[in-house]
Copies of this chain bind each other. A is one copy, B any other.
Amino acid sequence: MSFSPLIRQLIDALRILPGVGQKTAQRMALQMLERDRSGALRLAHALNEAMERVGHCKRCRTLCEEELCPQCADPNRDDSLLCVVQAPMDVFAVDQTGFRGRYFVLKGHLSPLDGLGPEAIGVPELLARIAEGAFSEVILATNPTVEGEATAHYIAQLLIPKGLSVSRIAHGVPLGGELDLVDGGTLAHAFNGRKAITL
């Protein structure tokens, strides 16, 4: 009622951002219009470029616009360690702990009730990636939730018979949380305390 159509349209559009409700969207819209129009135009440009050009890394399947992401393209990483996570944000979180091996990003976790089996989350691609690599250890860093645990257990069952050393990050990470919300120190601790998985 009080806002003109283009301002209303902007407020509505801002609400797609996680954690942004009506009041916050209003403040964002008016503040940009009053104080930082060039910043807002840069944001529009960055959104367009990212949404149109960012795809997935051919090797690890994280989000990136090149064929290979910065982690896969980096020649100075440990090719004997593979860390499996369930979302691109987790690559960033694990990298912050100082891990310098390689990554593979699943598309979420197994969820049979939603019809999400191994193919849906990229397990065949993970197996292919492992087959073409020379990994001595695979670290399963899916979320410390019931679903993340089940996904890690499922993958461990496939990898252990291949003679790979398979580990799970230690339960220093709080149960029920999302990996990328864990502080770096806790996550580093969980990494160091990782344990071999036995079937």
Contacts and interface: CB of A to CB of B under 8 A. Distances in A.
A132 interface: no
A148 to B, nearest CB: 17
A198 interface: no
Given A33-B51, A89-B30, A16 B40 contact: yes
B51 A32 contact: yes
A26 to B, nearest CB: 7
A47 interface: yes
A63 B95 CA distance: 44
B42 A44 contact: no
B46 A47 contact: no
Interface size class of A (residues with CB under 8 A): 35 or more
A32 to B, nearest CB: 7
A50 interface: yes
A23 to B, nearest CB: 9
Contacts of A49: 6, 9-10
A58 interface: no
B10 A47 contact: yes
B87 A34 contact: yes
Given A1-B70, A3-B92, A6-B65, A48 B54 contact: no
A143 interface: no
Contacts of A18: 27-28, 31
A41 interface: yes
A9 B46 contact: yes
A32 B87 CA distance: 13
B34 A40 contact: no
Report which residue of A4, A27, A44 has the largest number of chain B beta carbons within 10 angstroms of its beta carbon.
A4
Given A16-B43, A28-B17, A2 B70 contact: yes
Nearest to A49: B6
B13 A46 contact: yes
Contacts of A144: none
